[in-house]
């Protein structure tokens, strides 16, 4: 139970800390903020587990796990899974094209939107729409693709990611080009 | 606590195998609904197994048996829920990631090279939004009224969550 309590406390601090940090972060590599907050939360969890009393000063005797490694490992696994869920939720809620449509419709009221208006949210009227404006520079900087003569060529790291992606799509029987 | 973890692990491993088989044999149109339908019975099954089996499962050392059984039960249930959520997110990453789709298209292109116009043609905003609008209609987040898309109550809740998350997290589209 000690691991569960400390894991929950670390997650709360992680969420608050990352939300505050994102308000001050000016770059476009938000994953660094999330990973930094996660690393701090894991360190805090491990430190608190090491330093605190087995009953945390308030847990009943029956709620104390008899094996400290099991208690610690269980709390850590839960923290990792909860962080992964929070991280994915944050990206989906803030950046997903589907969520952008729902957010716009929620703010616009009952009139709804046409397909053209849904496309315009993603910058379809711009030469390079939002989807590519965010991703291509990151793929170039990360060494996954190279810009050459008005086009883009995939590089070895990009090929590996594409191969992994194709494999995962086959695993779930999804269309490889979708 | 370890008893709940072992039972939860076994049930989730079984569910993963069955789910993978269903994806390949049936190819359900609503993938998440299929995952949820197959996962749901594992929860009562976990409770039954937890109640019917001995505290040490017949093989756990005494040092791993001892905390309140209710705590172990709830802990295993929480873990089972989180593992299902993680599996759902894994599916979503593999199926919907725009970056991965872009890289797959580049890898499959002649000479592994595409112009920006070609990239926009195969996985640009028009292609992507056509897919996403279809998925949102199929999952009843939206309904079509003439040429306009309108939120359903489920979509309204989703949109409200998005509005709140964007206010709190302040992540930028660019």
DSSP classification of residue A59: -
Chain B residues 85-104 with CB within 8 Å of chain A: 85-86, 89, 91-95, 97-104
ipTM: 0.82
SS3 (DSSP) at A60: coil
Sheet of B148-151: strands edge to edge? A113-114, B148-151, B142-145
pLDDT computed for residue B132 by the predictor: 87
H or E stretch covering A118: helix A115-121
Q: What is the DSSP letter of B102?
A: H
- What are the helix (H) ranges across A1-114? 2-24, 30-51, 68-95, 97-108
Other Cβ atoms closer than 10 A to A169: 20
Say what percent of chain A tops pLDDT 70: 96
The domains of chain A are located at 2-95, 97-125, 128-178
pLDDT value of position A178: 52
Is there a contact between A115 and B147 (Cβ–Cβ < 8 Å)?
Answer: yes
- Report DSSP state, residue A65: -
Give kind and range of the element (H or E) at residue A114. Answer: strand A113-114
φ, ψ dihedrals at B97, nearest 5°? -60, 125
Retrieve residue A163's tokens.
Answer: 């191969």
- Chain B, residues 122-151, CB within 8 A of chain A, namely 122, 124-126, 128-129, 131-133, 135-136, 141-142, 145, 147-151
B44, pLDDT greater than 90: yes
- Read off the pLDDT band of A45 (50, 70, 90): very high
**Which of A67, A106, A166 lies at the smallest CB-CB distance from B63?**
A67
Least confident of A77-91, B115-129, B141-155: B115-129
**What are the residue boundaries of the structural domains of chain B, listed by start?**
2-95, 100-169
């Amino acid at each position: 139970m000690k691991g569960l309590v400390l894991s929950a406390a670390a997650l709360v601090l992680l969420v608050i800390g990352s939300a505050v940090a994102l308000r001050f972060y000016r770059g476009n590599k938000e994953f660094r903020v999330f990973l930094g907050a996660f690393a701090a939360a894991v360190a805090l969890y491990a430190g608190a587990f090491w330093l605190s009393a087995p009953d945390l000063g308030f847990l009943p005797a029956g709620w104390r796990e008899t094996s400290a490694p099991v208690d610690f490992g269980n709390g850590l696994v839960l923290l990792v899974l909860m962080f992964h869920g929070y991280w994915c939720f944050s990206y989906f809620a803030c950046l997903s094209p589907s969520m952008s449509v729902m957010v716009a419709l929620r703010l616009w009221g009952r009139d709804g939107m046409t397909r053209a208006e849904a496309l315009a949210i993603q910058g379809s009227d711009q030469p390079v729409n939002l989807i590519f404006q965010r991703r291509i520079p990151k793929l170039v900087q990360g060494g996954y693709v190279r810009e050459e003569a008005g086009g883009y060529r995939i590089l070895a790291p990009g090929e590996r990611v594409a191969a992994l992606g194709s494999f995962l799509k086959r695993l779930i029987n999804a269309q490889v080009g979708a | 606590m370890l008893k709940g973890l072992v039972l939860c692990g076994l049930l989730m491993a079984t569910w993963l195998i069955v789910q993978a088989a269903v994806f390949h044999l049936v190819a359900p149109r609503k993938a998440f609904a299929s995952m949820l339908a197959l996962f749901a019975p594992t929860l009562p099954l976990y409770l039954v197994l937890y109640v019917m089996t001995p505290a040490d499962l017949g093989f756990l050392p005494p040092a791993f048996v001892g905390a309140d059984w209710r705590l172990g039960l709830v802990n295993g249930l929480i873990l089972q829920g989180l593992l299902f959520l993680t599996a759902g997110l894994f599916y979503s990453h593999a199926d919907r990631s725009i970056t991965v789709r872009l890289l797959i298209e580049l890898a499959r292109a002649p000479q592994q090279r595409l112009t920006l116009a070609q990239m926009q043609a195969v996985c640009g905003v028009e292609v992507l939004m056509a897919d996403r609008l279809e998925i949102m209609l199929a999952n009843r987040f939206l309904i079509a009224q003439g040429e306009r898309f309108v939120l359903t109550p489920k979509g309204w809740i989703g949109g409200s969550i998005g509005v709140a998350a964007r206010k709190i997290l302040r992540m930028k589209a660019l």
